[in-house]
């Protein structure tokens, strides 16, 4: 009777841990032998999980579909096998002791992490990406103190080695006035939601066409930035340029929590002086305007996706869903759930 009760307790806790990876439960299961033991490296956390992060999104393309794509003229050149987004992925860890047979792209947009390829360990920070080769074992994980937020894609195809060549080391995408980071994020979202909508051949071909563009935006960063530059704009004043630059910086950091000091530093002004010229020019204090942009993005997600409120909050850099809902209600005049169902147009 006692053994059966203990077994049932472990089953219940294991099921709960898969849905909500509470550290204490995972530690209990590790001691009880129901979770894999941690590796003994100096970079290891006691608790390690593959997925289950608040606000995460992921898709695994069915093998029947990837097999079909390998025989398809467009898909054989490049196709996605898995795709996802993990916000603030505390205790995230994956290890593949054998060659995975597919390339793994990880783009860290906030926080820190690391990966190991062969005997070499690399540290990864905010704004860096890397592509792990298909033919070598590897391991990667999130930093214990400052866990990363990552976009990730597993892919294959005859052109995959060309896109991945030389990308096994961390590459930095630094914010700048023409960095187009938000454009790249929009590309990822379009790929993800196209695949989520279904696996018709038209959906697959469109998503893979976008994926070529997405990889090109990473491999050919300078060309991607120049292609988005507008030559028709008149030369702004120094104040206008600073405000435009700040708004661009805000839009490209919607998923992060940034301070007035960080925005001001980006423009080259002191916080007090920047706050004064920004409010005079735009009509809002910088952080208030940043929150307005975030709520605008939240409205777009509520309108055009089936993401949960938790997922939208996490995507926009809010750890506290209740705070996100209160801020949304203050700005929009109704809570997110009411906005989603309200009649518009």
pLDDT truncated to tens, each residue of the chain (345 aa)? 444 444 444 444 444 444 444 544 444 444 444 444 444 344 444 577 777 788 888 889 989 999 999 999 999 999 999 999 999 999 999 999 999 999 999 999 999 999 999 899 999 999 999 999 999 999 999 999 999 999 999 999 999 999 999 999 999 998 777 788 889 999 999 999 999 988 989 999 999 999 999 999 999 988 898 887 654 445 568 888 889 889 889 988 998 889 999 999 999 999 999 999 998 888 889 999 999 889 888 988 888 788 999 999 999 999 899 999 999 998 888 899 998 887 654
Query: 256 and 222: one domain?
Result: no
Question: Do 27 and 127 sit in the same domain of this protein?
Answer: no
Both 116 and 164 in a single domain?
A: yes
List C-alpha distances in Å: 59 to 8, 196, 332. Answer: 31, 7, 32
Domain boundary among 175, 206, 227: 227
Whether residue 222 is found in the same domain as residue 243:
no
Domain that holds residue 18: 2-32
For the entire predicted model, the pTM comes to: 0.65
Q: What is the pLDDT of residue 28?
A: 45
Q: Indicate if the alpha-carbon torsion angle 119, 162, 180, 236 is positive or negative.
A: positive
Are 222 and 242 found together in one domain? no
Pick from 46, 48, 27, 34: nearest CA to 6: 34
Task: Find the CATH number of the domain harbouring 120.
Answer: 2.60.120.280
Across-strand partners of 115?
122, 140
| Residues 6+ positions from 170 with CB-CB distance below 8 Å | 122, 123, 124, 125, 128, 129, 130
Counted domains in the chain: 3
Query: Do 162 and 88 sit in the same domain of this protein?
Result: yes
Say whether both 72 and 214 belong to one domain. Answer: yes
Is there a single domain that holds both residue 223 and residue 242? Answer: no
């Amino acid at each position: 009777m006692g053994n059966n009760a203990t077994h049932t307790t472990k089953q219940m806790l294991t099921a709960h841990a898969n849905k909500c990876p509470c550290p204490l439960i995972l530690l209990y299961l590790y001691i009880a032998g129901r979770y894999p033991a941690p590796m003994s490296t100096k970079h290891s956390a006691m608790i390690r999980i593959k997925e289950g992060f608040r606000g995460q999104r992921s898709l695994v393309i069915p093998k029947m579909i990837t097999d079909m794509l390998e025989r398809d003229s467009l898909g054989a050149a490049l196709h996605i096998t898995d795709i996802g987004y993990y916000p603030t992925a505390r205790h995230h860890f994956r290890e593949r002791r054998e060659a995975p047979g597919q390339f793994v792209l990880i783009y860290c947009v906030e926080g820190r992490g690391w990966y190991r390829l062969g005997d070499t360990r690399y540290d990864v920070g905010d704004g860096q990406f890397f592509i792990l080769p298909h033919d070598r074992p590897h391991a990667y994980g999130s930093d214990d103190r400052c866990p990363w937020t990552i976009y990730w894609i597993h892919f294959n195809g005859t052109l995959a080695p060309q896109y991945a060549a030389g990308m096994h080391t961390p590459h930095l995408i630094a914010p700048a006035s023409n960095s187009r980071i938000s454009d790249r994020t929009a590309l990822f979202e379009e790929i993800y939601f196209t695949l989520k909508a279904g696996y018709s051949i038209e959906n697959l071909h469109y998503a893979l066409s976008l994926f070529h563009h997405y990889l090109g935006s990473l491999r050919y960063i300078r060309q991607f930035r120049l292609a988005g530059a507008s030559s028709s704009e008149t030369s702004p004043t120094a104040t206008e340029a600073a405000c435009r630059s700040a708004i661009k910086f805000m839009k490209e950091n919607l998923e992060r929590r940034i301070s007035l000091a960080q925005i001001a530093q980006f423009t080259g002004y002191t916080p007090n002086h920047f706050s004064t010229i920004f409010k005079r020019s735009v009509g809002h204090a910088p952080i208030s305007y940043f929150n307005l942009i975030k709520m605008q993005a939240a409205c777009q997600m509520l309108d055009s996706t089936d993401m949960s409120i938790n997922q939208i909050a996490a995507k926009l850099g809010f750890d506290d869903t209740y705070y996100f809902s209160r801020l949304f209600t203050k700005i929009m005049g109704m809570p997110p759930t009411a906005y989603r169902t309200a009649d518009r147009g």
